[in-house]
Structure 1
């Protein structure tokens, strides 16, 4: 059951990181704020790996071709997911976009079943569906002007890519044939963030140098976002090493509740009656998931 506190810690750190990145989009744009998560997070991932090796006394696992296939897929999917999420957050409230993104557990469960043969129990599936219904109600898809569909589609697409990244990284962790849970999670995190830093830095150097230089100028908030991102990923990967990605991503819906609090305090964004109903469903679904795994 250690995956539960690991996931809760990851959700808290990710909420703080998303809020920091969301503010960075206003000064350095979506591409620059996306790069911050990886460029400034990679050094912290190496620190976490060094600490894990020191504490465990183990050696680094030797990655094989299967590991690299999974980690590259997870890394690319997470870059796309982060960019889509930040683009949506420029058009809708922080909490509502978080709700769009958090439709991912159903997609994660299905992809995990197909690719990794991760089991989904009837009770677990019911909990996932209830919690996902909550984020759909909360987001208000289909309400309001047609322009509201753009952030909705961006957020839903981000959720799909986050689902693919979760499966990719869990697959990479499972592909390592040596090392304990902490070592395999930390090794995968270091490789993942390293690849993401290389990919996105090369992309920005070729196509958007102002975004890259902007992220370097805004180094103070960027360091904070990088640390929070690496910390969140460290706990996500620990969760992936201990249970299915669908379980981790469903419990991670508590991030919607955290985002609601952030929206009210930092961005002065209120909560409607429909959003409160969605929050109740999310909470109920997460509670049911924990009950079935107690």
Structure 2
């Protein structure tokens, strides 16, 4: 029963993240990029605590105590996620959103590689092919015809690919932290890891903003209603990402998560009246084929 539970869990996480991204885009216009970034951690942390309290109450399980292995993984994952976001934003200042997205969406391939090296998460040949097909579909959708990926210098290319690498390392770090807790259900281990990761990220960004961008921090308090909604969606999405990481390899989760691209496309088509090109349709087909192979490879 649990062997395929990660599939609906990942789909819920992808849908929630699509909503969070839309909310954070609105916040970026109001309080800037860094201010909008820290909202997902600062305002998400209380909801993570509530989730942990609910799981503790309903399951009757004790909250697992962290160990040295857990500390290394969760701190590494938390810091990797912050670095990934920073590198992505840096690349987007020099290149278009779509091209940088193509760089960062190499993440599933890098997750598979790091997962094998760090955690020993092995892939079957079918799943490896599925990851490559789905990732190529995203890149095809992201890069418009005539776009030169390396046309404006090497720095944004390196930054974008490095961003995908750090996003991959964060996923591996969080999965490693969950697995290192040992005893307890996947619910209590995933939720405990979420609380610790958000706590670490909140502390780091509060210190950073307090020193270098106090105005952005104050602005996030002034728009607390929108910030609270973004924090809730961020914590909700992260809760389900972590549940997925507790049940299967990070490569499986992050490859299936590419359906988020299809969700974003549907939102653009429905609410922004944007038309879908043949190139984008081809990319969608590749994503669907890749995801189908991924799921078929689990049987």
User: TM-score, normalized by length of structure 2?
Assistant: 0.90
| Partner Cα separation in structure 2 for residue 77 and residue 9 of structure 1 | 23
**Which structure 2 segments of 5+ residues have no match?**
none
Tell me, yes or no, if structure 1 residue 56 matches structure 2 residue 59: yes
Runs (4+) off by over 6 Å: 148-152
Structure 1 contact 34–83 (Cα < 8 Å) conserved: no
Distance 1:266-1:224 versus aligned 2 partners, 3 A rule: farther
Which consecutive residues of structure 1, in runs of 5 or more, have no partner in the other structure?
none
In the alignment of these two chains, the number of paired residues is 293
Answer whether contact 1:100 1:139 (CA < 8 A) is retained.
no
Q: How do 1:64-143 residues align onto structure 2 when only pairs under 5 Å count?
A: 64-85=67-88, 92=96, 98-140=101-143, 143=146
1:187 to 188, 192, 209: 192
Question: Contact (CA 8 Å) 1:127, 1:289: kept in 2 or not?
Answer: yes
For the residues of structure 2 that align with 1:144 and 1:261, how far apart are their CA atoms? 24
Query: Per the alignment, in what secondary structure is the counterpart of residue 190 of structure 1?
Result: helix
Q: Does 1:33 align with 2:36?
A: yes
Residue 159 of structure 1 is matched in structure 2 by 164
CA distance in 1, matches of 2:26, 2:159: 18
1:156 CA displacement: 3.5
CA deviations 1:116-168 (Å, max 9, x no partner) are 00111111001001111111222227833635988766544332221110000
Cα distance in structure 1, aligned partners of 2:112 and 2:170: 13
**TM-score w.r.t. structure 1 length?**
0.92
Of 160-169 and 145-154, the range deviating more from structure 2: 145-154
Using the alignment, how far apart are the partners of 2:70 and 2:224 within structure 1?
Answer: 32
Any idea what SS the aligned residue of 2:32 has?
helix
The offset of 1:199, in angstroms, is 0.4
Of 161, 164, 174, the match for 2:179 = 174
- 2:194 partner SS: helix
Matched, 1:246 2:262: no
